[in-house]
Every structure is written in C-alpha cells, then in structure tokens.
Amino acid sequence: MDPTEIVAEPGPPPGGGPSAAPAVRLRRAVALLGSFPALAGVDLEVDRQEIVLLRGPNGAGKTTLLRTLAGLVPVTQGEATVLGIDLVRDYKAVRPRVGLLGHATGLYDELTVADNVRFWCRAARARAVDADAAMVRLGLDGRLRNVAVGRLSAGQRRRTSLACLVARRPELWLLDEPHAGLDQEGRDLVDHLVRDATAAGATVVMSSHELDRAVALADRTVTVTGGTTEDDARPPVPGPAEIPEGQESTDVA
C-alpha cells in the first residue's frame, strides 16, 4: 500500500456522473467464510451516486456482501469490480476509498470520542478539520467530545463510528444496519448524511431492517437470500446487462 496513493484518494471522485463506470459490479461473485460460501454467486450492479438497499433474512449474506465490497473478504470466483478496482486481482486495494459501518464499531473503549475520531481520521490521511466537522455534524461536540467511548451508550458509539466514516469522505459508503440503536433524531441524521454523501458524488449500499425508512431513502432495493441476489427493479436475467459488458470492461481496463 503506497501512502502517497492514499493521500490523493479521499474526496468525491472527479466527474463521477452516471456516465462513469458503475461503482459496484459483481457477476456471480463467490466469497467464502472458511469453507462456507456466504456469497454463492451474487450479481449486483450499483451506479455512482445511487443508494441501494439490501434486504433479506438473517444469514442471507448481507453483511458478507458489504464486507466483500469493502475489500475485507476475498472474492474466490466470478467477477467483482468496485470503484474500478478488480477485487479478484487485488481485493485490498479498494479499502482506503470505502467506508464501512459494521455491527462492531471499531473504536477503542479507553480513548475519548475525539481521540478515536482523530486517530481513524489521521490514519486515512484525512484532515483534522474534517474530523472536527464530522463530530459537530454527529452531535458529538461539547461534553461528549472528551468522554471515553467505553462510557457511551450504544447509540452514541454508533454516532462516533459514523463520525469516523464521515470524516474519511469515502467514495463508497457501506452501511450495515445504520439505523439500528439510534434514536429518532439519529435516524434522521443518518438519512441526511446519506443524501448529502450521494449529492457530493458518493455511492451508498446499505442493509436495514427499518424497511419503511430505508425503502424511502433508497433508490432501489435488492433482495439477498441464500448468498444470492434478486434485483427488485432490474430484470435479474442478465440479457440487457450483457450488452454494456464489453464496453465497461474496456473502461475499467
């Protein structure tokens, strides 16, 4: 991982209009957890600046799908391109450009909110101003700033985690149950953040069981079951999608 590469990357992509290659393109992607195929041939296409909701029962593979898109789980079969990076060839390269909000918060309990946000922010080579702005945005300024994360409520931890993500300005937001554990105001805030991010050029893929809220927020819903996907809006038969395939692969290459 070349640090200089990372420096150049945060921030919205240049000219990330709909004409650019899709942010996410999976074709029959298989990802293994141990020897278990958590993803058993997923087809998924997400355009830039789109908000896609993943729904499906527990254990369907939503979390693994998000982790795969984040470059944490290698793709063993099929094709997978995220932000123009071929995950089959190098699944790690995409990491600095995505932000993942998982079930686990990835925070250090003994450090304060400000310590945590600043550390992860500096790790991603983001600016300190952004860290402060993110904390203000998430309502973590004032008293909470200097409270150890271990003393926070679940919702406040979630907000801290979100602040880290916002400060990094990822191009692709991967949100695993972003509404869980948050109060009414917090959920509204998540929706605002998501809309602002897409307006600024980012793409969002999220899973949620808060269907009313999430469906209203999302441009499109994709159902995940048994490690595969069924697109609710687009025809799942790859007939029409096959036509731009050659075109896109030349774009990517």
Cα–Cα distance, 253 to 247 (Å, whole number)? 10
> Rounded to the nearest 5°, which phi and psi values hold at 37?
-80, 85
Distance separating alpha carbons of residues 190 and 194, to the nearest angstrom: 6
112: contact with another protein by CB under 8 A: yes
Least Å distance between CB 44 and another protein? 13
- Among 248, 236, 224, smallest CA distance to 63 is for 224
Verify binding: residue 40, another protein, rule CB under 8 A.
yes
Q: Which of 147, 226, 241, 248 binds another protein (CB under 8 A)?
A: 226
> Toward another protein, which CB reaches closer, 89 or 192?
89
Q: Does residue 213 belong to the site contacting another protein (CB under 8 A)?
A: no
Binding to another protein in span 128-157, by CB under 8 A: 148
- With CB under 8 A as the contact rule, the residue among 11, 12, 20, 28 that binds another protein is 28
The answer to whether the beta carbons of residues 38 and 58 sit under 8 Å apart is no
With a CB cutoff of 8 Å and minimum separation 6, the contacts of 39 are 29, 30, 31, 61, 64, 65, 68, 227, 228
* Binding-site ranges for another protein (CB under 8 A): 1, 3, 6, 28, 30, 32, 34-38, 40-41, 57, 60, 67, 70-74, 76-78, 88-92, 95-96, 98-100, 102-112, 115, 119-120, 122-125, 148, 221, 223, 225-228, 230, 232, 236-237
